[in-house]
Amino acid sequence: MTLRKWMASMLVLACLSAPVAADGLLMARSDNSFPEAMTVLQSAISARGYIITRLQQVNENLERRDYKSDMYRVVYFGKLDEVRQVTAAHPELIAFLPLSITIFAEGDESIMVASHPQTISGFYPDAALKPLFDRWEKDIEAIMDEVRE
């Protein structure tokens, strides 16, 4: 799928008011401008006990595909002890951690996209991991809701 088709699909689905799940993604649209939404996003992540581990700019890769924007970031976050414990017991989950939310501007609004934790659970059906995936889902939805409001 091309970047333009992927983004068009995201934009259509993100028009809904609450975080929605589609094709393994959670998506939400905010009426906040990108700078304001980015500030609220970081605050909402921290308020739930997560540490932001990295803010990644992806502008150069997007520009190579003729998408020009300086308002496109991936926010990585996690709880250090939780990440250590889960990856010690299930090293195969390292590829999915830390959690992340992508945020980008669309006009005067912002759109957030994250991998749906239940998608990961499909690959790792260990019953001991279910509460963790459920909590991640609720936390990501709550974070997106806070930015949306």
CATH of residue 106? 3.30.310.70
Worst-scoring range by mean pLDDT, 5-9, 50-54, 78-82, 124-128? 5-9
Per the prediction, the chain carries an average pLDDT of 84
3-state helix, strand, coil in the chain (%, to 5): 50, 25, 25
123 pLDDT band (50/70/90 cuts)? confident
Residue 12 confidence (pLDDT): 46
The number of angstroms, rounded, from the C-alpha of 142 to the middle of its chain's C-alpha atoms is 12
Highest mean pLDDT among 9-13, 14-18, 122-126: 122-126
27 touches 13 (CB < 8 A): yes
The pLDDT of 46-53, averaged and rounded, is 97
- Other CB atoms within a 10 A radius of the CB of residue 111 amount to 22
Q: Residue 77's domain spans which residues?
A: 3-148
Residue 21 confidence (pLDDT): 53
Distance CA(16)–CA(113), nearest Å, equals: 13
Residue 50 confidence (pLDDT): 98
Could you tell me the pTM of the whole model?
Answer: 0.79
- What is the domain count for the chain? 1
The percentage of the chain sitting over the pLDDT mark of 90, rounded to a whole number, equals 61
Residue 57 confidence (pLDDT): 82
Distance CA(49)–CA(37), nearest Å, equals: 19
30 touches 37 (CB < 8 A): yes
Residue 134 has pLDDT above 50, yes or no: yes
